Structure 1
Amino acid sequence: MTSKTAFITGASVGIGRATANVLADQGYQLVLLARRAEKLDALAAQLSTPVHIIACDINDHAAVDAALHSMPEIFRNPDVLVNNAGLALGIKPADQTDWLDWQTMIQTNCLSLAYLTRKILPSMVERNQGHIINLGSIAGRYPYQGGNVYGATKAFVEQFSRNLRTDVLGKQIRVTNLSPGIIGNTEFSLVRLHGDESAANAVYDSCQALTPEDIAECIRWAVTLPAHVNINEIEVMPTCQAAGGLAIARD
């Protein structure tokens, strides 16, 4: 057990929520950031660890700044940052997409991830310890129809992670890019398909997808390894999925 602090974005549902549960079990106190305060409150109520909630949109950088400046002292120097907040919007070909969907993906998956990292990293460098885990995607490595800007944003996350690790060489700071394949039991497809529940559910038909708990277990493993061990990349898919057109075997 530790008395360290983990800062998790997109913490109210899915991978963020599962990661909060796993790291709480490891003894981490938690800073949980997401837009929906009621979901964060419900999560915090079931965790047996100190929790600080930041209920704001990660794309509202002024609100993020204010929240960081007003955090209680015991939470101000995270040992682990899990950059989980992100989304996909739309599956149309590039010539038919809504520009605002592209803009939102770039803003959330790239700019806001980089912004929060830049805010948290100096304290890690000053203390010469820390671990940044960025949630990428296999979409950043393997192109597929309709992936266009979403895949590009996740390629940014992967390369940003590599360059970040190079910049902190010589410091006891770890950086991990975690790239999952298809994941069920999240709001990912519902958001991507603009609330179309039928279409979102069809994504997972006859396929045993990964779960948020599977990804949280990858995070637990990476952060609990000895401090001199850095896991650069984790790529994980369910057995129903493989590279080569990102084919999915249907039962």
Structure 2
Amino acid sequence: MDLKAAGYTRNESEINSVVRMVDVQKTYDNGNTAVEGVNLTINEGDFVSFVGPSGCGKSTIFKMVAGLTDITEGHINLLNKEVESEERDSKELAYVFQDATLLPWLNVFKNISLPLKFQNISKKVQREMVLEVLELVGLEGYEASMPRELSGGMKMRVSIARALVAKPKLLLMDEPFGALDEITRQNLQEELLRIWGSQKMTVLFITHNVFESVYLSNKVAVMTPSPGKIETTMNVPLSYPRVPEVRTDAEFSSLVAAVSEKLKH
């Protein structure tokens, strides 16, 4: 879509946006339309959670943003650049999947350093960057451990560290805590907010847990059933940093109820 030729002009918030989706649609070769008419602007420093029924296209949106699948119609502006999917800069964004996806034959240090291997960075600097991010995710001292020696929560920390090591401006997280027990999940939620606050990055986060979406985010994008659209984007006016006790506040409960009500419709 040639937006300039169509006479489209950007407002101030779009000029400072990290991701801007305009009438985005994805139709697969079998004719199935996963998402259509998706319009959303995400600004620098936002933490936006995507919630919606299974199969509504949340992961499809993320894959289009990351350039892992083509856009059928519409346009995605990434980091204020008019780019096609194959032109995504891997140093500017990182992706954390539902599973930790660690290479079992590599130790923690080598798994985390993978994104740095193809950059012109000396081994000394690579080591400094890996050790820095290990400390950031609370895994200092585990660099020689193998994935089989780690718990599920620790593996996910390694996956997050691997995504953060190149200092991306945009972090995509596709339901990373879904397979974890509740205590580990809540601990990692708190760690993620601490990391987000210290790294000054933008986070897009997929979850099926409404409580999680409200606790983490400053905005929640509620999607319709397939073909998925953004039904509404709800602001979460809870201040940061967020302490665990906020989960028991009346305002928190009210926001959870409001998001849940939107999902029903």
Q: Is the pair's TM-score, using the shorter chain for normalization, greater than 0.5?
A: no
* Higher share of residues assigned strand: 2
Task: Give 1 or 2 for the bigger CA radius of gyration.
Answer: 2
Structure having greater relative contact order (Cα 8 Å, sep ≥ 6): 2
TM-score (norm 1): 0.34
Q: Which has the higher helix share?
A: 1
